[in-house]
Amino acid sequence: MIASVLISGVSVALLGYWFRYTCLLLLQNRNLQAVPAGNQFVFAEVRERLGKEPDLDPLSRLLERDYRVLTYLLRHATQLGTQPLEERILILDYRLMKCWYRLTRRTAPEQARRALGEMISVVACLAQKMGEQAGLQYEI
């Protein structure tokens, strides 16, 4: 009984480690400074304001709007209704970071700021993927 609990606990911990490592690799391998020219998204502005704004909630709301638009477009733009595993992992990472942001925004503002920064990276990565599917060119 104890061995089963121990093995299950270690397995869950390793799965969590794999997930975080995969998310960080996906975000690191993208050129997230590239933004589609002439877009209506505000995540680049949110990234600039992240270090300056004392109140993060308005930035979170702006980012959430971009996230909803991008996930809608990606969901309806994929061929045959299947979403690549990479996109699913990034979307799950965004949702987990959103939960972490909500938990830490009052008690640990620096942790909340880091969570919001990772959420911005995920939205930028999703925007880049959407642009690639649409055949758009990126400018730095």
d(CA 98, CA 96): 5
Enclosing domain of residue 49? 2-139
- Give the pLDDT of residue 44: 86
- Give the pLDDT of residue 136: 57
Structure tokens, 86: 């990479």
Q: Quote the pTM value.
A: 0.82
- Give the pLDDT of residue 140: 35
Q: How many domains does the chain fold into? A: 1
- Which runs of consecutive H residues, i.e. helices, occur in the chain? 2-28, 43-50, 57-77, 85-104, 109-134
- Give the pLDDT of residue 82: 65
Cβ-based neighbour number of residue 71 at 10 Å: 18
- Give the pLDDT of residue 139: 46
- Give the pLDDT of residue 81: 57
Which H or E run includes 36?
Answer: strand 35-36
Residues in the chain with pLDDT values less than 50: 37, 138-140
